Every structure is written in C-alpha cells, then in structure tokens.
Chain A
C-alpha cells in the first residue's frame, strides 16, 4: 500500500495528473477555446488555444499537487483516525467521481451565462441530445450487454410520435413527452421479442435491420409520416404554459410578455438547452439509481452470464425486455425533444450513422461509465462540429481520432466500473 512506501510513485502520479490535464483540455476546448468577434466584415472566430493550454496546465499542476499532498499527509491522517488507510483508499475513487460529476453539472448550468454565445449553447444542446442517447443506449449495451445497432429507431419513434401528435391533435410537448417515451418503449418490447434468443453478432444484425425497417416505414407511410418530405411546423415546447414565441398564439401568453422583457430568440435557445440538460440528467439519475436495484443488477448479470442467471431464478426474457424497453423509452424522450427543437423532422435524421455514432459514444466512453459517455459525446459530436474548417477532411480526422483513441485506450476513455454496493467493513454503497 502506498502508505508504507516513503517515496511517491512519480510516473503514476504524473500519468494521473496528465489524464486530469487532458480532461481539462477537453472541457476547456468548447468552453474557453473560442471567441466570437463581430466586426464590419461579419462574425469571425478567434481561437484561444493558449487558454486551453493554461487550463490544462493549471489542472495538471493542481492534480499533481493534491496527489503529492495526499501522499505525504495520508500517513498523518491515517495515524489520527484508526484503520482509516483502507477507508481512505476505498473512498477516494468514488468521491473523485462524485466531485467530477458535480463540477460538470455546475459547468453545464453556468454555460449559457458564462459569456457563451447562442451558437455555442445550440451546439451544447446537440451534444446533450447525444449524451442522453448515449446514456439510454448504455442501459442496453453497457449494462445488459445487448449489442443494439438500431437504437436510432426508437429515437425516430419518439420524434415522430411527438410530431404527429402535435401537428394532428395539437397536443402540447409536455403531454406528448411521456406518450412518446411510452410508444418508444413499446417498440423496444416489439424489437425485444423476436431477438430474445439472439446474442452478440446475430442480435446486432437483427437490430440493424429493425432500425432500417422503421426508417423504411417512415419513408413509405406517406399519409401519416409525410414520407421523405418529413413533418414541419412542429410546436415548440412551452415554459410552464408560456410560449417561447415573439407573438402569442390565441389564448396563450408568451414568455417575454409574462416576464415583461423584450423577446429574443436567445431565450428559446437557452430554454431548450436547459430542457435537454434536465432530461439528460434525469436519465443519468435514473440509471445510477436503477443500477443499484435488483433489475439493474440483473441486467449486468445477464451481460456476464445468461445461463448462471437462469440457474438463480432470473427470467432472462423479462430482464432483456425491460432493458430494451427502458433504453428505448429514453431514446423516445430524446426524440421528442429533438422534434420540438428542430421544428421539422424527416427520415434523413434517423439513418444508420446515427445509431453508429451513439454506439461509438458508449463504447468510446468505456461501456457503462456515465462520465465517460459525456466525454465521448463531446469528442464525437462536438469536435466534428468545430472542425468544419477542415472541410472534406473532417470525417477523416474524426475517424483517425477514433482509431487513435481505441489504440490508446481499448477499454474506452473511462472504463472503471463502480460496484453497486459495498459489504466489506460494514460500508454502505
């Protein structure tokens, strides 16, 4: 144990600090790396790469300092509290994870006010959609171990549910959101039944086909879905009944009138940003909690060994269907948000490449790591958006980055799995 050695393991600490610096650079990239300049020629983008370097350097030095301080202080602390060595070693990863999560949430909450422009908030909204999708798919792939290549189908079901319910029946976003989730969940079960006996590659192929079938139905069922032309004029979500519009529709009030402030499209962008942030955080909270419940443990057990599950009385049918249904429900929520944000949807938004990106986010994030998925979504969705300057080389750079990451960390960015309970030395989870 580290406590008994007198010299710190410098390379390990450096590596650790390096990783922290890298994460800081990733976070700093969208948050600090750009500056918009409005001039007579139009808007130009200034890169503030130095700022990223500063941020990474500060975090690197800070992390190293904390590690060294802990290293030299830990024996003193340990001598003060009897037997706290084990406790200390055990608590720290969980505490770190927790504090990283809190910092990320605070940063996300502060983003629209920290001088970020509308464009950035809009991109952050897009990233959050993918984070939510990643967290949803993580239930199916990361926890239950069911390789699903057709996840975008449920996203599409959610989006079209809201679009159709809203345009034909005039139902509001807040009524449609749960309905869209339910419908997507029902489709999840519908997909689940035929693939109950399949695993691995075979399951992947069938789910891939399912995704395509849904897309074909959307393209061809013109009367309902509008076919390739899609559905337009989808209502925006309201803020507790207050519309985010310049002029109220009859019988309603707008947000700006109610609060007596001038209307600005920024209000809607920021509102949508907070809305998806809440939806995504709800997904995260749900996953963190359900992992500790019997059904969540059953998903992970199913991933580990289906035969052993059966021998202990777990019904694999129910375990699989519940994973598919719940994963699909979150995609449905995300889909209806997407439709509400875009105002317009068409089958082009729900192609296989979307499924592939969401799956890549889960795999790159480290299969089951909630924070890893956030980092991966920022990398995979954020970077290509910001690398538009590279024009046709954008996707090449994207692919190369992915290959490099998978060589560097084949287990994903953050692959640590936090156990769902601790029974040793009477600790609680």
Chain B
C-alpha cells in the first residue's frame, strides 16, 4: 500500500521576533485527507506557524512544501500570501477578519474573486455582461448558497457580516474560506467563543468538509471537545518546539503533553484533558 504524499510538510521551521524564538526548528506533516490539529498552551507559536505557512510571515529558516492533490508541489516560504491562497491553502483568523460592512453574500463572492475575475476577462466580459461571465456569476452564487446552507447562514445572506452574532461570524469565516476553493483549509481556533451546541455543529461541519469534500484540514484549537473528537493526528507545540505528535489517544496518554498543557503532572487534570473540559 502506498501512502499518498502529505498535503503539507514543514521542515526545520524557525522564526524569531527580536530576542524571542517564537518557533524553534519545527517539523511536522499534515496528511492528505486528514484533520490535523496543532495544539499547545497560549503563546506556543501556533498562530505564528500558521502565519508562516500562509505567507504572512517569512520564516528565518525552514522549508514548507504544499502538495496539491493534482501533484504540483509549492514551496510556500518563497511565495506571497495571496499566491499561497490561490495555490489552495486558505486560512481563517483567530480574531475574525470578515468584511464587516459588506453583506454575508458579498463576503462569499469576494472569496471567489480569482475565478470570477478570470471569467470577467479584465472586467470586460463582466462589464458587458457576456453570457460566459453571467454563467460564472451564477455558479458563484450557487456555491455561496451551498456554503451558506452548510454553515446554517441561509437566512442571513443579505445581512451585514459585521452585524452577525459572534458564532455566525465564525461560521461565515469557514464558509468564506471554503468558497475560495482550498485543498488545505487552515482554521485558527474556529471553536473559540462557541457554546457547546455550536461546537458540536462545528465538529459535524469539519468532518463533512473532510469526508465529503475531501479537503485536508489543519486546525488550531484549544477546545479539547473539538480536537479530541475530530482530529486524525495531533501535533503539540510548546514554546515554539514540537513536543509530541500522534493520534488523539496517544496524545491523551502522553505525560509530556499533560505537563506542558497544565504545568503540573496531576491525574485530575489529565482527566480534564481527556474529558474535554479544557
């Protein structure tokens, strides 16, 4: 049996901010078709790793290769952020970044900019409303409607994104990222601030994205009820270093992880990690 290439390979990633070594020789893989979680205490460097992968920070050293399902390989450390997104690595943000004064539907249309812009042929076909452009536009509307329905926002299509409640904004960020046609979806704490029932719905959505849409997911998450239930593999970061990798069960049982996460070796708190309370 041949294992498919990992969708993302990070090797010896290091980045420094002044004297602070935010990421220290980090290497890990995200397998194609998996939900890969990146966890770790506050300030461990998870978001920084995301920022490197998606081109917002340039790492000091290290290699990050993205293997598109089509077989192409992209060396992410050499690419601009927007080119990385076009290649198929699309992210969400820990502190939500929507287009607040635009409607929900418009947010989803902006996410399809690259395809629509191509169809509009330097805006000329679009300006003249040629059938080819109108067809692309209809398809974009359909895709937006589909992801609105998937994220439970079908009744909010024409609301301003900024006036949505917090939980809906989080879901809109996922819908928007999906409209951008990713092969690897990177989500930075998508469950932050969600109530338990919203978290459950998120689990189902992420599983659906993985299983039905065959999209690999890289997930940063503090909410253990999400991480432990849906992740295929987990990588644990502490102070910029990788301290453990494995399946949820392996991570649960790993004493280093428990120490890193809780600062103490205590079986009650181990139970908390396993039980999904943290």
Interface residues of A (CB under 8 A from B): 90, 289-290, 293-295, 297-298, 300-301, 304-305, 307-316, 417, 419-424
Contacts and interface: CB of A to CB of B under 8 A. Distances in A.
13 contacts: A293-B123, A294-B109, A295-B117, A295-B126, A300-B102, A310-B81, A312-B110, A313-B86, A314-B82, A314-B110, A314-B114, A315-B82, A419-B102
B158 A294 contact: no
B155 A424 contact: yes
Nearest to B122: A295
Contacts of B111: 312
Nearest to B176: A312
Nearest to A368: B101
Contact of A305 (B97, B116, B177): B97
Contacts of B114: 313-314
B100 interface: yes
Given A293-B120, A316-B82, A311 B148 contact: no
Nearest to B89: A311
B110 A419 contact: no
Given A312-B111, A314-B113, A421-B141, A297 B106 contact: yes
Contacts of A301: 99, 102, 110, 113
Contacts of A298: 110, 113, 117
A132 to B, nearest CB: 19
Contact of A423 (B85, B144, B180): B144
Contact of A422 (B90, B127, B158, B177): B158
A309 B105 contact: no
A88 to B, nearest CB: 15
Interface string B81-94: 11101100011010
B54 interface: yes
B101 A308 contact: no
Nearest to A314: B113
A232 to B, nearest CB: 38
Smallest CB-CB A-B distances: 10 pairs: A304-B99, A313-B85, A423-B157, A423-B105, A308-B97, A294-B116, A313-B86, A293-B126, A424-B157, A301-B110
A297 B107 CA distance: 9
A316 B80 CA distance: 11
B98 interface: yes
Greatest chain B CB density within 10 A among A300, A305, A316, A417 is at A305
Given A300-B101, A301-B102, 16 more contacts: A294-B116, A294-B117, A294-B120, A298-B113, A300-B99, A300-B106, A304-B101, A308-B97, A309-B110, A311-B85, A311-B90, A311-B91, A312-B85, A312-B180, A315-B80, A422-B103
